[in-house]
Amino acid sequence: MKKISMEFIEGMLFHGRSISEHDIFMDSVPEFQGRDTAPRPMECFIHALAGCTGMDVVSILRKMKILDMVKKFEVQVEYERATEHPKVYTKIHVIYYFETEKGIPHDKVEKACVLSQERYCPASAMLKKAVPEFDYEIKIVEIE
């Protein structure tokens, strides 16, 4: 079993080291005795989803040999959280946004996103089990 830890520094600031040996800081707002020097834990959580599925898509498009046709790729996540504690995510909508060269095979781009959502992305898989409304869409804009 792997193990990580987050060490309390001061106020609400915590520091940890990832398994890959990178620093991670989390903080809160002054209202809750933080200094607003780092993201909140739930912010990190939703960014982890975007990064996880985004890396899958890039990897798959690279294997398909069409990544060079993608000029911009962005994973956007719209979400809602419960108003009462625990303030869990109640709705997540992932948007895969691409700006591409003309003629990119849309079916391959869509397949990469579907494979991430249905097979590879552990963050998506876990959240789908806990979030009542979880869906995604794919937007492809061909540019000159």
The highest-level CATH class for domain 41-143 is alpha beta
Q: Backbone phi, then psi, for 36, in 5-degree steps?
A: 60, 45
Question: What is the average per-residue pLDDT within 62-84?
Answer: 98
Mean pLDDT across 89-105: 98
Whether the per-residue pLDDT at 121 is higher than 90: the answer is yes
pLDDT digit string, tens, across residues 2-17: 999 999 999 999 999 9
DSSP letter, residue 116: I
Reduced to 3 states (helix: H, G, I; strand: E, B; else coil), residue 86 is coil
Burial letters 82-115, b for 16+ CB under 10 A, else e:
eeeeeeebeebebebebebeeebeeeebeebbee
**According to the model, what pLDDT value does residue 144 have?**
78
Compute the distance between CA of residue 4 and CA of residue 71 in angstroms, rounded to an integer: 36
Tell me, what's the pLDDT at 129?
98
Q: What integer pLDDT is reported at residue 79 of this predicted model? A: 98
For the stretch 3-62, pLDDT in tens is 999 999 999 999 999 999 999 999 999 999 999 999 999 999 999 999 999 999 999 999
